[in-house]
Chain A
């Protein structure tokens, strides 16, 4: 057996089931859990009996009701909170939500038996529920050994808690205890607030832009790559307006909305190596009631990673480290609970007051930065302890105002405002430009406040109904489209986003502009020209201007003028008659092209692949070798092996033989003409070599370089008036030595670069060399006379 690395399957979480989890606990733990169901007799039971007793109790409605009746208000509210989450919740977020309930919880002084550390008050409330087994930590299937304690501290690795559906069925969702906030009167009621339709428009724009961009590139850590984010930011055009210009800044707006979409589960893994893709049902959400949409965004917002509202000074945060964002998720959960605990859902409150109330509930248990713990000095008398505690609390409060209070303000002014949940205002007496007052919008009230309260306890918030498809825009003759958001359905918004470019606009209308590029893009995405005109007309308050109708039709018709088949097959027949016969036998089996061809695209390709063909040429493979060339540059195409492209390639750098269509000739003229159109000697030689059925003759290679005027290769040779040829370049010497064409002129070889030329053929040889672009130097002729003497 090898001791090497063995890849194992990633750990999986247990099902949300007590029966699956109880066997993971040791006997002592199970006895504690069983006390809730069988009382003190649990101490006498063994492990198996405890498990059975607990499971039996959970399935008995009377026993469940008895247990719930015996719970404290905090425990019942805690279970109600978990019920609101579904059946399970993220551990950290649930722990802070329990603290924000504002109810006294037992077990504040409990301390994990295995720990030397002081108690972690952050998990104090949660440990109260865990200790009784009302909720359990969700386990991993690869955890070793038995759990010896039910409670957790800061260093746990159980990201989720859950409870039994039977237990949850018996409790009601309870609102948190109201905060002690004082409403602010005399506020300008108009304030700043986004209408639900404006929020929908934002998400529709994002989704449609992502769809237009196609591929979504993420880093290995799951963050969008910088080039992709740059492209998305540019396409959306929000970043500057939302980030700096407005009174309600939202930093890194593009990243925020993208991460929110991802956190809400609207991005999913695409095919391998293609990044992630939009969920096909992304648009369906926009047609749901506004409060259902907002609830989805709130769930995504609470657990948002890789983006944050504000990073306090002194807090280290690594962009790619998801766990680093856990503290922000906790604070978001606390903020959302605080908004649910407002004394009056319709009143205006100060942001600073909200932060103070949050501090009162969690300030001693939680900090975005390092939480300073309170330690009592050894032998300190009670007065000293009281004094030290007061100093510690003062310091904590100061640090909260520096960090968390700023964060709370940024969260309310930024994401919560831009999700349409919060209205903002400021008092007339204040000099600050940024809002200092807030209240819930009807949408915010429905999602954050009323959802904790039974129907009928509060007056339901007046939410506008989701708009159905109808007329909602005006198309102007100058190609501008003014969209009235209060009447625009999500489908209409998605349509206009696809066919037109958005222009800057705010308030109740959105402005778009129809351009040839946007219309072309939408036609390319598969929308039929008829459907485009029809939908545009249906959404229009007035008849579509005639010039718009005509221009759109022209743009669509122009697209039909030119088609590019990315991948197509062509069947080549011997003659037109054979082609026509084949086509007549199989109608719809392709389109006749020219005299001898059938063009096959789409489904036709697949059908014909199985048809009997004499030969298949695949153009994704290297080119077919179908050329023969002589030293003199005579090229012959082996037509039995030729493909459709070889003639076109040859025409670039060879002259056609007018008598024989399969014969070509590479000449000084043809090479120089190719060079004048941008070819280089290397291009020509590469092209030729890839097509040749044999090695390229060295002399032709030298000649092509010489004709192309390549100066890097010395082409000077010399011929003695008598018999000696000296060649300065080794490559040229090899070409001459290996040439069958030049052999008749040579008597022999004296050295690697020196040849003996037949006396009577010197002039003919000199002319032959000149044909191949090899100039003869006069200097060497003189030298050769001396050599003779």
Chain B
């Protein structure tokens, strides 16, 4: 059985670390992510509440954008179709 997660925690602003020195100024590039984007925040909440789909949503960047667990892209597309959604799948 695939484990489902009880709740979702959006990535937080790193807490100030007095020990480690300040890092470089440039942004961090997160590459090769599978991302889900919705037009209505309520839809994302609905997806998160879905036991099957919600388990694969690991992080939320905004009200409408979330990140899928790596390697679960095809699985989640299938689950969305099964749940009656018609996702627009955007390839690289």
- Chain A complexes with chain B: yes
Interface size class of B (residues with CB under 8 A): 35 or more
Cross-chain contact of B28 among A613, A656, A662 (Cβ < 8 A): A613
CB-defined interface of A592-605 with B at 8 Å, one 1/0 digit per residue?
01111111011001
Contacts A612-B26, A680-B3; A566 near B39 (Cβ below 8 A)? no
- When the two chains form their complex, are residues B30 and A662 in contact, meaning their CB atoms are under 8 A apart? no
Kindly identify which residue among B3, B13, B70 contacts A674, using a CB–CB cutoff of 8 Å. Answer: B3
Contact of A601 among B6, B30, B90 (CB under 8 A): B90
Q: Are B14 and A570 in contact (CB under 8 A)?
A: no
Q: How far is the CA of A650 from the CA of B6 in the complex (A)?
A: 11
With A and B bound together, what is the CA distance between A579 and B61 in angstroms?
14
Interface positions of B from 33 to 64, Cβ below 8 Å from A: 33-40, 43, 55, 57-59, 61-62, 64
The residues in B between 51 and 92 inclusive whose CB is less than 8 angstroms from any CB of A are 55, 57-59, 61-62, 64-65, 67-70, 73, 76-77, 80, 85-92
Given known pairs A563-B88, A613-B29, the reply for A651 and B13 (CB within 8 Å) is: no
Question: In the complex, which residues of chain A have a beta carbon less than 8 angstroms from the beta carbon of B28?
Answer: 571-572, 613-617
Chain B: minimal CB distance from A585 (Å): 12
Chain B residues near A617: list those with CB within 8 A: 28-31
- Quick one: CB contact mask for A729-747 with B, threshold 8 Å, 1 for yes? 0000000000000000000
Q: Are B86 and A558 in contact (CB under 8 A)?
A: yes
Contact A564 B80 (CB under 8 A): yes
- Chain B min CB distance to A82 (Å): 49
A582 within 8 A of B: yes
Asked whether, in the complex, the Cβ of B59 is within 8 Å of the Cβ of A644, the reply is: yes
A543 within 8 A of B: no
List CB contacts (< 8 Å) of A636-688 with chain B: 639-640, 642-645, 647-652, 656, 660-662, 673-674, 677-680, 683
Chain B residues near A284 (CB-CB < 8 A): none
Establish whether residues B86 and A568, one from each chain, have CB atoms under 8 Å apart when the complex forms. Answer: no
Cα(A568)–Cα(B31), bound, Å: 7
Chain A 536-571 interface residues, beta-carbon cutoff 8 Å to B: 555, 558-571
Question: For residue B43, which residues in chain A have a CB less than 8 angstroms away from its CB?
Answer: 561-562
Residues of A contacting B76 in the complex (Cβ-Cβ under 8 angstroms): 564
B6 engages A651 (CB within 8 Å): yes
Contacts of A564 in B (CB 8 A): 34-37, 68, 73, 76-77, 80, 87-90
Residue of B3, B11, B25, B85 near A562 (CB, 8 A) is: B85
Which residue of chain B has the shortest Cβ distance to A642 in the bound complex? B14
With CB as the reference atom, state the residue of chain B lying closest to A606. B92
Does A516 reach chain B (CB closer than 8 Å)? Answer: yes
B31 contacts across to A, CB distance below 8 A: 569, 605, 609, 616-620
Across-interface contacts of A645 in B (CB, < 8 A): 58-59, 67, 69-70
With an 8 A cutoff between CB atoms, is A510 at the interface? Answer: no
Interface string of A99-132 (1 = CB under 8 A from B): 0000000000000000000000000000000000
Bound form: Cα–Cα A645–B11 in Å: 7
- In the assembled complex, the Cα of A135 lies from the Cα of B31 at a distance in Å of 63
Q: Check A573 for interface membership: any CB of B closer than 8 A.
A: yes
Query: How far in angstroms is the closest Cβ of chain A from B20?
Result: 6
Cα(A729)–Cα(B61), bound, Å: 46
Interchain CB contact (< 8 A) of A570 among B8, B20, B33, B39: B33
Q: Chain A contacts of B23 at CB under 8 A?
A: 614-615, 640
Q: Mark A504-546, 1 if CB is under 8 A from B, else 0.
A: 0000000000001000100110000000000000000000000
Q: Which residue of A lies closest to B66 (CB)?
A: A648
A608 within 8 A of B: yes
Q: Tell me the count of chain A residues lying within 8 A, CB to CB, of chain B.
A: 70
Contact across chains for A677 and B6 when beta carbons are under 8 A apart: yes
Nearest Cβ on chain A to B32's Cβ, whole angstroms = 5
Q: A567 touching B34 by the CB < 8 A rule?
A: yes
Interface centre among B24, B27, B62, B86 (most CB of A within 10 A): B27
Instruction: Answer whether A599 and B30 are a contact pair too, CB < 8 Å, given A563-B90, A594-B61.
Output: no
Nearest chain B residue, comparing its CB with the CB of A659 = B15
**Which of chain A's residues have a CB closer than 8 A to the CB of B29?**
569-572, 608-609, 611, 613, 615-617
Do A567 and B14 have beta carbons less than 8 Å apart? no
Inter-chain contacts of B35 with A (CB < 8 A):
564-565, 568, 570, 599, 601
List chain B residues, Cβ under 8 A from A562. 36-39, 43, 80, 85-88
A619→B92 contact, CB < 8 A: no
Shortest distance from the beta carbon of B15 to any chain A beta carbon, whole Å: 5
Give the docked Cα–Cα distance between A561 and B2 (Å): 27
Closest to B40 in A: A561
Mark A572-583 against chain B: 1 for CB-CB distance below 8 A, else 0.
111000110010
What per-residue 1/0 map shows which CB atoms of A138-163 lie under 8 Å from chain B? 00000000000000000000000000
What residue of chain A has the Cβ atom nearest to residue B5's Cβ? Answer: A652
Question: In whole angstroms, how far apart are the Cα atoms of A364 and B78 in the complex?
Answer: 61
Tell whether, in the assembled complex, residue A677 and residue B61 are in contact, meaning their CB atoms are under 8 Å apart: no
Say whether B87 contacts A569, CB under 8 Å: no
A611: which B residues are within 8 A, CB to CB? 29
Q: In the complex, which residues of chain B have a beta carbon less than 8 angstroms from the beta carbon of A570?
A: 29-30, 33, 35, 61, 67
Contact A594 B65 (CB under 8 A): yes
Question: Which of B10, B59, B80 is the most central at the interface, judged by chain A CB atoms within 10 Å of its CB?
Answer: B59
Cα separation A598 to B30 with both chains bound (whole Å):
10
| B72 nearest CB across to chain A (Å) | 11
**Complex contact B89–A593 (CB within 8 A):** no
Asked if B9 contacts A651 (CB within 8 A), the reply is yes
The chain B residue sitting closest to A565, CB to CB, is B35
B18 to chain A, nearest CB (A): 12
Q: How far is the CB of B43 from chain A (nearest CB, A)?
A: 6
Q: A571 to chain B: which residues have CB within 8 Å?
A: 27-30
Is the pair B34, A565 in contact by a Cβ cutoff of 8 Å? yes
A662 touches B3 (CB 8 A): no
Task: List B contacts of A523 (CB < 8 A).
Answer: 88
Alpha-carbon separation in the docked complex, A722 to B61 (Å):
57
Contact A639 B59 (CB under 8 A): no
In whole angstroms, what is the CA distance A122 to B41 when docked? Answer: 77
Task: Give min CB distance, B66 to chain A, whole Å.
Answer: 9
- Across the interface, do A648 and B8 meet the contact criterion of CB distance under 8 Å? yes
Chain A residues with CB under 8 A of B11: 644, 647-648
Look across to chain A and name the residue whose beta carbon is closest to the beta carbon of B62.
A594
Partner of A605, one of B36, B61, B88, B92: B92
Whether A614 pairs with B27 at a CB distance below 8 angstroms is yes
Interface residues in A9-45 by Cβ distance below 8 A to B read none
Nearest-Cβ distance from residue B45 to partner chain A, whole angstroms: 13
CB distance A651 to B61 under 8 Å?
A: no
Measured CA separation A677–B2 after assembly (Å): 9
Please tell me if the beta carbons of B30 and A643 are within 8 angstroms of each other in the complex: yes
Complex Cα spacing A310 to B3, Å: 54
User: Are B62 and A597 within 8 A (Cβ)?
Assistant: yes
Name 4 extra pairs, CB < 8 A, besides A594-B61, A613-B26, A662-B15: A565-B33, A615-B24, A619-B33, A644-B58
Q: Could you name 6 residue pairs across A and B whose Cβ atoms are closer than 8 Å?
A: A559-B87, A561-B38, A561-B40, A570-B29, A647-B12, A662-B15
The 5 closest A-B pairs by CB, nearest first: A594-B62, A648-B58, A639-B14, A614-B24, A614-B26
